[in-house]
Structure formats: structure tokens, C-alpha cells
Structure 1
Amino acid sequence: MSFVLHKTKSDRVIDTFLYIFLTLFGLATLFPIYYVFVMSVTPIEVVLQKGGFVLFPTKITFEGFAAIFASKVLPQALKITVIVTIVGTAFNLIVTALTAYPLSRKQLPGKNIVLFLIVFTMLFSGGLIPLYLTVNATGLMDTIWALLIPGLITAFNVLIMKTFFDNLPDDLEEAAKVDGSGEFTTLFRIILPLSKPIMATLGLFYGVNHWNTYFAGIMYINNQDLKPIQVVLRNMLQAQNVSQELMVQNPALVQQLPPETMKMAAVVVTIVPVIAVYPFLQKYFVKGFLLGSVKG
């Protein structure tokens, strides 16, 4: 026997209002990204003809992208950021899983004390100066490890992953022990394959954080070859001479190119990878976050 739920007139009005509101909100969110892309591919003469505001470009040029990739600085910064994002996210997930899994076991001695110390770090920080002195004393300054080690683990993400592990059936671990599996075998062969939602969710958190890393780049890195892309982008946006800031190998390539076009092209290069990756993780995102936030 099936029941059909009929919506009342007021329900349909509310649904229509919500759809309209969410559509307008989505368009308002996407518009800045669209406008930056349009400005990056629109010739300067078209921009001047339109009074500095172009919504639908009549002509398209990719000279801005050619100019920034012909530079010495931005491709190197992009390379460093990609390495830090991939390697750093992998390290983050491994260390977070190795921390959260023992804390999810009921028989772990002193588990409550460790959890208290983890939560304590979320409420009180050691401060910026001790962090800088620690990085300096450990010899991480001006190395790529300065972009990886200080943020290797996040207390909030540990708690989310621990809660997800808490929701997994205890029978899985007991069956693994009966089969002679050790703790590491149980974690990497059984637990983690069942934890794709939370791994994808936290991987997105860690990955976006690494991609947008700026603070570590200005605090710990003086070597221009190790600067992440966000630091280079900020310097580029504030520079009076963009071609000089980027050390373009062929100045003639940007001689007639307005600085704003190159700046917009650099912004597009910075945001596109994150936007491109998110759709592949979206199906895991909500599920993993909810399962890792609420213990059933």
C-alpha cells in the first residue's frame, strides 16, 4: 500500500520561493568567478569600449595566460603548490587516520586524557611566536617541509574521523583479529577502504587548505623558488610592474598587454584546479561530513 503526499498551495508557493532564492544565490556566488574569467580573455580595447565592464565578450584572447606561463615565477609557484597539495594531503590523511583510529577503540588506555589534550588545543593556542621559533629551531625554514609539517594534523579533523570510525561495526575489528590481522592490517585493509566518504571529505579540507596556503609562505619561505602560488599572486596583484614581478623571459610578449589582464589570468589559474576537483568529491562530501559529525 503506497501513500501519495499532495502538496498544498502554500507548500508550492514556499517551494517556488526557495528555488528562486537558491538560484539567485547560486548565480551571485558564481558571478565573480565568471567575471574574472571574462576579464582574463577579453582584449583591452573591448574593455575600454565597454567602459571597463564586460559581461559578454565579443572578442577573446588568451595572451594573458600565454604571458603568465612564459614567466619564471608563476609556473614554479604553481609547481610548488601542486606538490605541497598532493604530498601534504596524503601525509595529512595518513597521520589523521593513525591518530583517530586508536582513539576510536574503546579499550585504549588513557584515551580520555588524549582526547582532552586534543580538544584543549582547539581552545588555546601556543601563539605565533612559539610556532615560528619551533619551525626555525627544527631547521625547516626555507624548505618545502615548512609548508607541510606545521599543519600536518588538525584537531577538528581528528575528531571528525574518530567519530566516523566510532560508527563502524565492532564486528569488523573482531573478525579481523580472528583472522590474525594486526592493528595496521585492520586499519589499512579493512577500515580505510570502508572510510572513503570521510577520507574524501577531509582530503578536500586539507587539499584546499594547502592550495590556499599563504601564511606559511610569507612566514617561513624567503627563497623565491619555494614561494607558493598564493604568495606570488598577492605580490602580483600589488605590483606596479607585473612583467617585472613575474620575471617574464620575453618582455615583448607583455609590452602591449595591460596588467589587469595578466592579473585576472593568474587568478583564474589559481581557482580553476579547486573548482575542477570538487565535482568528483561532491558525492562523498555531505555523506562523509554528516557521518563524521554525528555519532549514531
Structure 2
Amino acid sequence: MKKKNSSAVSIFNLFNICILSILALLCIYPIWYVLMASLSNGNLIMQHSGVLLFPIKPNIAAYIAVFKNKMILSGYLNTIKILVISLILQITMTSIGAYFFSRDRVLFKKPLMFIITLTMFISGGMIPFYQNLRSLHLMNSHWGLILPFMISTYNMIILKTSFESIPKSLSEAARIDGAGHIRILFSIVLPLSKPVLAVMLLYYGVGVWNGWFWASTILTDRTMYPLQVILREILLSNDTSVMTQGVSSGDLEAVGATIRYATVIVATLPILCAYPFLQKYFTKGIMIGAVKE
């Protein structure tokens, strides 16, 4: 009986491994294709059809063209500036909101939580949001991409659940020793919530890094464009002539359509590099609150 159960489990595990391996390949291959295409000859890659596993006539002319372009470098700097300021404000505001609602003795806690949760399902609409930005003089400013998105209700609820799992006795002991709420939050609660904070950083970071819609809507000065807006223009316009400025005539043939592929890799690489450092926290952080004992 045990041998039958063991063989059944083995077959089930083998089946799962095969299915998950196929899904992993389906997810990885598009990124691999873009990477190989970006390292290939432009004219040859346009003529190629089918699966691409290795670069065709390898060269890095497309990457040279990308990094020589001032708009790409400007977009990188703008995106990093928006990202750093946004993450600091988002983590701070989300932590304060989650800490407030995780406390037991809060006046009108349930009505306030209901109103805030309601914003997840019913928004004010795009036009009123745009009018608010105009009335607050946040148009054509990076602050218009930072201040309205300082807190996410969904992320705050996840962080609130994490804070509630921390033993109350720690906060009570700190209160007896004279610690205030700010000291308790930053010295006790947040250090014990590193896994879920890593998840928050990943969620917020990916959202800010990939954001392009509101940037393309409220920014009129091209020098203020973040990287994703520049990438969108390159992909939609199908015109890489601006990107090839400063590239020698001998490299123009090799660049061709690979400019777009190289730009996608350059825009995606920072997030791909950051994920492994947060991965050890990710699984634990995302499961917080799933089960209450």
C-alpha cells in the first residue's frame, strides 16, 4: 500500500515538474528572445523567423547607440529620482497608516477602515484626478507622479495584517519603558516586518518603474520624461533614427531594429537585478496574513 502511494506521489510530482518547467520556459523565452535579438545584426534579425536561441552575427552596436543617446540617460536619471523619493514616501506613509489601524484603541477604527477600503473599488475617476493635479499646480512636475501615489490601500492592508501578528506584549513593554508610538513603530514593529516590507518595496518599485501613463499625460517637458515614456515613444513610433545619432556609419547596418530590443533590455534590467536580493523575503512576506492561528 505504501509503495503504491509512494509511486502515485512520484508520478504526481513528476507531472507537476513537467508542467511548471514548460510554464517557466514560456515565461523566460520572450525575455531571452529580446536579449538575443538585441545582440544580433539588425538586418539579419529582421529576416529571421522562428525560434531564436543565440544571437545572429553578435555585436553590441545597439547598446552603444542606446547609452550614447541623451534621452535614455535623462530618462534613467528621472526614473531613479522619482523611484527613490516615491519609495521613501510610500513606505513611510503606508507604515504609519498600517500601524494606526493595527492598534486596538483607535476611535472610529471600523468606519475609517471601511471608507479607505472603499477607495479600492470606487475611484474618483480619471478626469477629476487630472483636475486635482491641475488645481494643485502639479502639472509638468515630478511631484505630480509622486504625491498622489504615496499610499496604496491594498499594500496598507497587507502591512496592517503583518503588524497585527506581532505580539502586543512587545509594544506594551516598550510603552512601560517610556517609548512613544513613533519609537515603537521604527524600533520594534518595522524591524520585525522586514519580509513584508521587502514585498512592499517590490510592489511599489515595480509600479513606479513601469509607470508611463500619468507621466505622458501631465509632463510636457521632454527632459522630464521617465524612462518608460521614452521607451514607449521608441516602440510606437517605430523610428530609431534619433537613437542612432553618434553611431558610426559602419555600425548603422548592425544596429537597425535591434535598437528597440536593446532599449527594452536596458529598461527592464534594473528590476530583474533587484528581484534576487528581495526573493528570500518575498515568499514569507507574501504569505503573511494568509493563515491566522
Query: Which TM-score band (shorter chain)?
Result: over 0.9
The counterpart of 1:276, out of the listed 273, 280, 286, is 273
Structure 1: tracts of 5 or more residues without a match: none
* Contact 1:64–1:261, Cα closer than 8 Å, also in 2: yes
Partner of 1:83: 81
CA displacement at 1:251 relative to structure 2? 5.2
TM (norm. structure 2) is: 0.93
Aligned to 1:164: 162
Shift of 1:110: 1.1
Match of 2:246 among 240, 245, 250: 250
Separation in 2, partners of 1:159, 1:200: 15
Separation in structure 1 between the aligned mates of residue 84 and residue 290 of structure 2, nearest angstrom: 25
Identity of aligned residues (%): 33
Deviations, residues 3-52 of structure 1 (Å, cap 9, x unaligned): x9995222111111111111111011000000000000012354367557
Structure 1 residues 126 and 50 mapped into 2: Cα distance closer, same or farther (>3 Å)? closer
Instruction: State the partner residue of 2:92.
Output: 94
Q: Which moved more, 1:94-103 or 1:75-84?
A: 75-84
> Using a 3 Å threshold, how does the CA distance of structure 1 residues 5 and 295 change in structure 2: closer, same or farther?
farther
1:206-262 alpha-carbon deviations (Å, 9 max, x no partner): 000000001111111111011111111110012243132x4x552546643444110
Task: Return closer, same or farther for 1:51/1:171 CA change in 2, 3 Å cut-off.
Answer: closer
Q: In the TM superposition, what are the counterparts of 1:208-247 in structure 2 within 5 Å? A: 208-244=206-242, 246=243
SS of 2:144's equivalent in the other structure is helix
* 118, 131, 134: which one aligns with 1:120: 118
1:138 positional shift: 0.7
Instruction: Count how many residue pairs are aligned between Structure 1 and Structure 2.
Output: 291
Q: Distance in 2 between matches of 1:117 and 1:51?
A: 54
| Deviation digits for residues 128-159 of structure 1 (CA, Å, limit 9, x no counterpart) | 01100111111111111111111111111111
The range that moved more, 23-32 or 75-84, is 75-84
CA contact (8 A) 2:199 2:286 kept: yes
Q: Compared with structure 1, are the counterparts of its residues 49 and 112 closer, same or farther at alpha carbon in structure 2 (3 Å cutoff)?
A: closer
Name the CA shift for 1:198/1:5 in 2 (closer, same or farther; >3 Å).
farther
Alignment correspondent of 1:186: 184
Retained in 2: the 8 A contact 1:162–1:292? no
Change (3 A) 1:57 1:214: same
Aligned residue type for 2:263: A
Query: CA offset at residue 283 of structure 1?
Result: 1.3
> 229-238 or 56-65, which moves further after superposition?
56-65
d(CA) in 2 for partners of 1:6 and 1:189? 54
Unaligned 5+ segments in structure 2 are: none
Instruction: Give the match's secondary structure for 1:237.
Output: helix
Equivalent AA in structure 2 for residue 211 of structure 1: W
Letter in 2 for 1:230: Q
Contact 2:46 2:257 in 1 (8 A): no
TM-aligned CA deviation for residue 92 of structure 1:
0.5
| Partners of 2:39 and 2:56 within 8 A in 1 | no
Alignment partners' CA distance in 2, 1:60 and 1:21:
33
Question: Residues 163 and 295 of structure 1 are in contact (CA less than 8 Å); yes or no, is this contact kept in structure 2?
Answer: no
| Range 168-177 or range 54-63, more displaced | 54-63
Could you tell me how far 1:102 is from its partner in structure 2? 1.0
Aligned Cα root-mean-square deviation (Å): 2.0
Q: State the TM-score, normalized to the length of structure 1.
A: 0.92
Could you say if the C-alpha distance between residues 53 and 286 of structure 1 is closer, same or farther in structure 2, counting changes exceeding 3 Å?
closer
CA contact (8 A) 1:141 1:220 kept: yes
Alpha-carbon separation, structure 1, partners of 2:112 and 2:22? 46
Corresponding position of 1:143:
141
3-state SS of 2:178 partner? coil
Give the match's secondary structure for 1:238: helix
Alignment of 1:1-40 (within 5 A): 7-40=5-38
- Measured in 2, the distance between the counterparts of 1:45 and 1:259 equals 6
Choose which of 89, 105, 108 in structure 2 pairs with 1:107: 105
